[in-house]
Amino acid sequence: MIEVKIVSRGNSLALSLPKNGRFKKGQRWLLIPSSDGESYTLIPRLENPYAGPKPKQSMSEEWPDVDWNEVE
C-alpha cells in the first residue's frame, strides 16, 4: 500500500505521490471513482494506439483461414 497526501497547489488540490520510481514527473493518471462513491482507483493513462498517423505498411490478416462471409 502507498500512502498519498492531498496538498494545496494554487487554487487547486493535488495528490502528493512518493518518489519511489513508480511515479514520474509528467506521467498522466486517471482517478476512477468506485460505485460506492467513497473510494477511487488510480490507473496510468495509456496513449491511444489508434491515434496519430497511419502505418506505412498495412496490417497482415490475423486469421487468414476465416471465411468472413460465414461470420454473422
DSSP codes, 6-62? EEEETTEEEEE---SSSS-TT--EEEEEPTTSS-EEEEEPPP-TTSSSPPSSPPPPS
Average pLDDT of 6-33? 88
Q: Average pLDDT over the chain, rounded to whole?
A: 83
Among 3-7, 24-28, 64-68, the range scoring the smallest mean pLDDT is: 64-68
What residue segments make up the domains of the chain, in order of their start?
Answer: 24-48
**Amino acid type, 44:** P
pLDDT of res. 8: 95
Tell me the C-alpha distance between 43 and 47, whole Å.
13
Strand duo 12-16 + 5-9: pairing = antiparallel
Verdict on whether the full-model pTM lies above 0.85: no
